[in-house]
């Protein structure tokens, strides 16, 4: 590990319970055709994907070196092993995960001895066995996936991607009556209100992966609502197009189907906030979290009333 670059990060304060930590998986360019399958394997192994970043390095050689900058082996030992990456598509997908059971063991010898998470290693090896390129029927070492050994590597990667506070920038805040995603700023006041579906709006993405814009529309005009009413192919195309660029939370068809199957249960939870929204100048409320839950309930009953946490910042939010 290149200890000369180690900084005194307070990276564990986001998770006071040290039985869990934040790690990352990195899908290299030649693994991207299998990203849906790979994400399913990762979540099936017990990891919760909390943040997704699609990245197109300007200089692939420099990027590969930066990824391995905090590896325990000097990069000179890894240069030959990573040469194949310079011939892959210069686009990658980072999957940042909450690791609830980091079964850590000491591996390696001498100066390369370090702690490694068994769960990460096992999952990484399963993915490589399935998706690594094959030659003459044998799996090659041209790995489609890389993963972190520890949260310091995760923090370093996030900072290199532009997250100034590393892990702290992608973990949630506390002290609210509802789970508050990391990207929502603290409000002056939080109200709990019952809001009819007709008054709920959401933002939607239009355009291509790297050329998109946002529009505001009623929840019943959203892709999520149409998917809950049966058009799941439209939803699959929507999340595949924007994953890791405009959509950095984890979304999948399987996840949404689970939400849809629980829509009746969600609709009955009148005593607890289901979504988070802000008031609009034009009237109604704009969702800042919970579009999928609101759309699933609306598809079940388009006259439903949803209990919402309403954030007040001093001014209404303009569309």
User: Where is pLDDT greater, at 147 or 183?
Assistant: 147
Q: Residue 181: is its pLDDT beyond 60? A: yes
The phi, psi pair for 52, rounded to 5°, reads -130, 130
Residue with the two structure tokens 């040290």 = 18
Kindly tell me if the per-residue pLDDT of 262 is higher than 50: yes
Reported confidence tier of residue 315, pLDDT bands at 50, 70, 90: low
* Residues of the chain by 3-state class (helix, strand, coil), percent to 5: 40, 25, 35
Q: Evaluate whether 170 touches 53 at the Cβ level (below 8 Å).
A: no
- Inter-residue long-range contacts of 263-272, CB under 8 Å, 24+ positions, other chains counted: 263/228, 263/296, 263/297, 263/299, 263/300, 264/300, 266/293, 266/296, 266/297, 267/297, 267/300, 267/301, 267/304, 267/306, 269/307, 270/194, 270/305, 270/307, 271/307, 272/177, 272/178, 272/307
127 to 8, 244, 283: CA distances (angstroms): 33, 20, 48
Rounded Cα–Cα distance for residues 113 and 132 (Å): 26
Domains defined for the chain, CATH in brackets: 3-170 (3.30.70), 189-312 (3.90.1530)
Q: Are 258 and 293 spatial neighbours (Cβ–Cβ below 8 Å)?
A: no
List, edge to edge, every strand of the sheet that includes 48-55: 48-55, 92-99, 21-27, 145-147
Q: Is the pLDDT of residue 283 over 90?
A: yes
Please give the model's pTM, rounded to 2 decimal places: 0.78
Residue 131, pLDDT > 60, answer yes
Interatomic CA distance for residues 319 and 203, integer angstroms: 9
Tell me the two tokens of residue 116: 């490694």
Closest by Cα among 49, 48, 37 to 244: 49
pLDDT of residue 10: 41
User: What is the average pLDDT across 191-213?
Assistant: 95
Tell the burial category of 230 from Cβ atoms under 10 Å away from its Cβ (0-12, 13-18, 19+). exposed
Nearest to 309, CA basis, from 282, 284, 290: 290
Average pLDDT over residues 281-308: 94
Q: Mean pLDDT across the chain, nearest whole number? A: 86
- Mean pLDDT of the region 2-24: 50
pLDDT at 16 over 50: no
């Amino acid at each position: 590990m290149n200890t000369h670059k180690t900084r005194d990060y307070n990276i564990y304060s986001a998770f006071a319970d040290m039985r869990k930590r934040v790690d990352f998986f990195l899908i290299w360019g030649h693994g991207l055709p299998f990203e849906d399958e790979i994400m399913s394997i990762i979540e099936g192994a017990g990891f919760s994907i909390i943040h997704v970043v699609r990245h197109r390095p300007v200089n692939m050689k420099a990027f590969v070196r930066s990824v391995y900058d905090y590896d325990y082996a000097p990069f000179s030992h890894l240069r030959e092993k990573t040469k194949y990456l310079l011939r892959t598509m210069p686009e990658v997908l980072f999957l940042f995960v909450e690791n609830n059971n980091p079964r850590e063991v000491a591996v390696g010898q001498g100066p390369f001895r370090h702690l490694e998470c068994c769960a990460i290693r096992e999952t990484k090896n399963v993915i490589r066995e399935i998706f690594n390129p094959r030659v003459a029927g044998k799996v090659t070492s041209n790995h489609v996936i890389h993963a972190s050994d520890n949260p310091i590597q995760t923090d370093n990667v996030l900072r290199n991607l532009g997250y100034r506070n590393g892990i702290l920038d992608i973990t949630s805040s506390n002290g609210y009556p509802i789970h508050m995603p990391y990207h929502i700023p603290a409000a002056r006041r939080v109200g709990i209100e019952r809001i009819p579906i007709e008054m709920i709006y959401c933002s939607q993405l239009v355009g291509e992966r790297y050329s998109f814009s946002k529009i505001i529309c009623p929840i019943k005009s959203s892709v999520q609502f149409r998917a809950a009413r049966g058009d799941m192919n439209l939803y699959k195309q929507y999340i595949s197009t924007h994953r890791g660029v405009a959509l950095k939370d984890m979304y999948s068809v399987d996840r949404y189907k689970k939400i849809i199957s629980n829509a009746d249960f969600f609709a009955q939870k009148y005593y607890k906030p289901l979504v988070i929204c802000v008031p609009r100048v034009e009237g109604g409320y704009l969702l800042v979290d919970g579009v999928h839950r609101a759309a699933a309930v609306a598809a079940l009953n388009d006259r439903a009333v949803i209990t919402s946490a309403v954030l007040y910042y001093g001014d209404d939010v303009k569309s």
